[in-house]
Amino acid sequence: MARTPTGGVTAARLAGAQLARFIRFVERTSDIVAEPAGILDRLRTDHPCIVAIWHGQFMMSGSYRPDVPVAAMVARHRDAELIGTTMEHLGVELVRGAGSAGRKKDRGGASALRAALQCLSQGKSFVMTADVPPGPARRCGEGIITLARMSGRPIVPLAAATSRFKSLDTWSRLTINLPYSRLAFVYGDPIFVPRDASAQMLEDLRQQVERDLNTVTRRAYELAGADVSRATPRSADPSIPPARPGLALKTYRSLTRALAPFAPLVLDHRGRRGKEDAARRPERLGIASRPRPDGPLAWVHAASVGEFNAVLPLIERLTEARPDLHLIVTTGTVTSAAIAAARLPQRAFHQYSPIDTPQAVKSFLDHWRPDLAVFTESDIWPNIIMALSDRHTPLALVNARMSGRSSRRWRRRRRIAQQLFGRFDVVLAQNAQLARHFALLGAPRTVDAGNLKVDAPAPPVDKSELSRLKGITGSRPLLVAASTHDGEELIVAQAHRILRQHLPELLSIIAPRHPGRGGQVEAELFAAGLDVTRRSTGSDPAASTDIYLADTIGELGLFYSLGDVVFLGGSLVPRGGQNPIEAIRLGCAVMSGPHHQNFAEIYGRLQRAGAVVQVGDAQELAAAALRLLTHQSARDEALRAADSVLQAMGGALEKSLNTLLPLLPAAEAAPLPAGENDLAASDAPVAGLRRALS
Angle between helix 334-343 and 305-321 (nearest 10) = 30
Helix (H) or strand (E) holding 343: helix 334-343
Q: What is the pLDDT of residues 560-574, one digit of tens each?
A: 999 999 999 999 999
In percent, how much of the chain has pLDDT > 90? 71
* 196/58 same-domain check: yes
> From the CB of residue 223, how many other CB atoms can be counted at a distance below 10 Å?
19
Q: Which segments of 501-555 does DSSP mark as H helices, in order? A: 518-527
Mean confidence (pLDDT) of the chain: 89
Q: What is the DSSP letter of 37?
A: T
User: Is residue 504 domain-resident?
Assistant: yes
Q: Residue 245 is which amino acid?
A: P
Q: Is 137 helix (H, G, I), strand (E, B) or coil?
A: coil
Give pLDDT, residue 222: 97
Helix (H) or strand (E) holding 72: strand 70-74
User: Is the pLDDT reported for residue 195 higher than 70?
Assistant: yes
From 630, 649, 668, give the residue that closes a domain: 649
How many angstroms separate the first and last alpha carbons of the chain? Answer: 68
Q: Is 89 helix (H, G, I), strand (E, B) or coil?
A: helix
* 61/198 same-domain check: yes
* 479/332 same-domain check: no
CB-CB contact of 186 with 34 (8 Å): yes
Q: Is 269 helix (H, G, I), strand (E, B) or coil?
A: helix
* 57/162 same-domain check: yes
**Helix, strand, coil shares, percent, the chain, to 5:** 45, 15, 35
**How many angstroms separate the Cα of 204 from the Cα of each of 7, 155, 235?**
46, 14, 21
User: Is residue 588 domain-resident?
Assistant: yes
* 140/166 same-domain check: yes
Give pLDDT, residue 247: 94
Range with the poorest average pLDDT among 59-68, 218-227, 435-444 = 59-68
- CATH code of the domain containing 346: 3.40.50.11720
- Can 307 be counted among the known catalytic residues? yes
Instruction: Please count the structural domains in the chain.
Output: 3
Q: What is the pLDDT of residues 311-359, one digit of tens each?
A: 999 999 999 999 999 999 999 999 899 999 999 999 999 999 999 999 9
Rg (CA), the chain: 31
Q: What is the pLDDT of residues 611-646, one digit of tens each?
A: 999 999 999 999 999 999 999 999 999 999 999 999
User: Is residue 108 domain-resident?
Assistant: yes
How far, in Å, CA of 170 to CA of 79, rounded?
Answer: 13
* 303/407 same-domain check: yes
- CATH code of the domain containing 529: 3.40.50.2000
- CATH code of the domain containing 68: 3.40.1130
Q: Residue 412 is which amino acid?
A: R
Give pLDDT, residue 397: 98
From 402, 420, 451, give the residue that closes a domain: 451
Q: What is the mean pLDDT of residues 229-249?
A: 86
User: Is the pLDDT reported for residue 71 higher than 90?
Assistant: no
Residue 278 CA neighbour count, 13 Å, CB half:
7
> From the CB of residue 389, how many other CB atoms can be counted at a distance below 10 Å?
21
* 470/427 same-domain check: no
* 616/585 same-domain check: yes
How far, in Å, CA of 621 to CA of 592, rounded?
Answer: 9
Q: Which of 27, 276, 283, 307 is catalytic?
A: 307
> From the CB of residue 110, how many other CB atoms can be counted at a distance below 10 Å?
12
Nearest alpha carbon to residue 370 among 442, 406, 313, 318: 318
Angle between helix 358-368 and 247-259 (nearest 10) = 90
> From the CB of residue 552, how many other CB atoms can be counted at a distance below 10 Å?
16
* 438/467 same-domain check: no
* 602/625 same-domain check: yes
User: Is residue 256 domain-resident?
Assistant: no
How far, in Å, CA of 173 to CA of 167, rounded?
Answer: 6
Cα 20-26-31 angle, rounded to 5 deg? 145
* 441/471 same-domain check: no
Judge residue 3's burial from the number of C-beta atoms within 10 Å of its C-beta, 0-12 exposed, 13-18 middle, 19 or more buried.
exposed
User: Is residue 677 domain-resident?
Assistant: no
Q: Residue 537 is which amino acid?
A: T
Q: What is the pLDDT of residues 34-59, one digit of tens each?
A: 999 877 787 788 889 999 999 999 89
For the full predicted model, state whether its pTM sits above 0.85: no
User: Is residue 687 domain-resident?
Assistant: no
Residues 642-665 as b or e (16 or more Cβ within 10 Å = b): beebbeebeebbebbbebbeebbe
DSSP 558-584: HHHHH-SEEEESSTTTTS-----HHHH
Cis peptide leading into residue 134 (ω within 30°): yes
User: Is residue 263 domain-resident?
Assistant: no
Q: Is 685 helix (H, G, I), strand (E, B) or coil?
A: helix
Residues 144-181 as b or e (16 or more Cβ within 10 Å = b): bbbbbbebebbbbbbbbbbbbbebeebbbbbbebbeeb
CB-CB contact of 72 with 53 (8 Å): no
Which range marks the domain in which residue 27 is found?
6-231
User: Is residue 292 domain-resident?
Assistant: yes
> How is the beta sheet containing 426-429 ordered, strand by strand?
348-352, 326-331, 297-301, 372-376, 395-400, 426-429, 446-448
Q: Which segments of 501-551 does DSSP mark as H helices, in order? A: 518-527
* 218/297 same-domain check: no
